C-alpha cells in the first residue's frame, strides 16, 4: 500500500514534468491562460481607474471640514490595500474554475496528442453516443465531487480529526478518477470500471489523488499544475491497466 501510494505521487509529478518538457502541449493551454490574463487585467484596471478614485472621493466628502479630517489619508490607504487583498482572493479562487471551464475545450485533444506522441498509444475515434456517454459520466463525477466536498466540509465542523481524514481520502480517490477519465474513455471504459481496474492498487489512486488534490487547492499555482496532473493520470491509467 505504501509503495503504491508513493508511486501514485510519482505519476502525478511525472505528468507535470512531461507537460513542461514537451512544448508541443503548451498550445492547448494558451487560450485558458489568455482568458485568465484578460480577467486579471480587467479587474486591476477597474480597481485603479474606478474603485480607488471612488474611495478617495467618498472619504474626502465624508471627512473634509470635520474634526476627523486627518483620518481621511490613512483610511484611504487602508481601504485601498483591503480592496487589493479582496480582489486577489476572489481572483485566486475563481481562476481555477475559469481555467477548468475554458480548458475543457482543449484538454481532451491535448491528452490524445500526448498519448500518441509520448506514450505511443493510438486510440480509435469516439462515436457520437460514446461522447455523450462520456460527458454524462464526467458530469456525474463532478457533481459527486462537489456534493462530497460540501457535505464533508460540514462534517469537519463537528468531527475535525476523523472528518479531515475521510475528507482527504475521499477527495483524493475521486480526483484520481477525474484525472484518469480521458484515458479511461480512450480505452472504451466507463468511470465505474476504474474501481475494478485498480481493485488491488488503491494505494496508487490515493497517492495520486491526495497529492494532486492538495496542490490544486493552492490559488494560482494550481493552473500551472492542472494540465500536468491530467497527463499524469493518463500515464498511470495506461501503464497500470495491463499489469
Average pLDDT value for residue range 200-228? 87
State the DSSP H helix or E strand holding residue 204, giving kind and residue range, or none if neither. Answer: helix 202-216
Spatial distance between the Cα atoms of 195 and 8, rounded to a whole number of angstroms? 15
Task: Specify which of 9-13, 35-39, 182-186 reaches the highest per-range mean pLDDT.
Answer: 9-13
The pTM of the full predicted model, rounded to 2 decimals, is 0.77
**In the chain, pLDDT over 90 holds for what percent of residues?**
26
159 pLDDT higher than 90? no
Task: Specify which of 16-20, 96-100, 141-145 reaches the highest per-range mean pLDDT.
Answer: 16-20
> CB-side exposure of 145: number of CA atoms within 13 Å?
17
pLDDT digits (tens, 9 = 90+) for 102-114: 887 888 889 999 9
Say if residues 169 and 210 touch (Cβ distance below 8 Å): yes
User: Which of the four pLDDT bands, split at 50, 70 and 90, describes residue 184?
Assistant: confident
C-alpha cell at 155: 462534517
User: Which of the four pLDDT bands, split at 50, 70 and 90, describes residue 61?
Assistant: low
Amino acid at each position: 500500500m505504501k509503495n503504491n501510494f508513493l508511486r501514485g505521487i510519482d505519476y502525478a509529478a511525472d505528468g507535470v514534468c512531461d507537460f513542461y518538457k514537451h512544448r508541443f502541449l503548451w498550445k492547448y493551454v494558451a487560450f485558458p491562460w489568455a482568458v485568465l490574463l484578460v480577467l486579471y487585467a480587467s479587474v486591476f484596471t477597474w480597481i485603479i481607474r474606478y474603485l480607488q478614485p471612488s474611495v478617495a472621493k467618498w472619504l474626502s466628502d465624508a471627512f473634509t471640514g470635520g474634526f476627523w479630517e486627518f483620518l481621511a489619508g490613512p483610511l484611504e490607504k487602508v481601504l485601498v490595500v483591503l480592496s487589493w487583498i479582496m480582489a486577489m482572493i476572489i481572483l485566486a479562487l475563481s481562476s481555477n474554475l475559469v481555467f477548468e471551464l475554458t480548458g475543457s475545450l482543449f484538454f481532451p485533444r491535448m491528452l490524445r496528442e500526448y498519448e500518441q506522441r509520448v506514450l505511443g498509444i493510438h486510440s480509435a475515434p469516439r462515436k457520437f453516443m460514446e461522447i455523450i456517454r462520456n460527458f454524462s459520466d464526467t458530469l456525474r463525477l463532478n457533481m459527486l465531487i462537489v456534493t462530497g466536498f460540501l457535505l464533508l466540509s460540514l462534517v469537519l465542523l463537528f468531527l475535525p480529526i476523523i472528518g479531515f481524514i475521510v475528507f482527504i481520502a475521499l477527495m483524493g480517490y475521486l480526483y484520481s478518477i477525474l484525472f484518469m477519465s480521458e484515458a479511461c474513455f480512450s480505452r472504451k471504459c466507463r468511470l465505474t470500471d476504474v474501481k475494478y481496474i485498480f481493485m488491488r492498487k488503491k494505494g496508487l489512486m490515493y497517492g495520486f489523488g491526495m497529492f494532486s488534490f492538495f496542490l490544486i487547492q493552492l490559488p494560482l499555482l494550481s493552473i500551472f499544475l492542472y494540465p500536468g496532473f491530467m497527463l499524469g493520470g493518463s500515464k498511470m491509467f495506461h501503464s497500470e491497466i495491463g499489469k
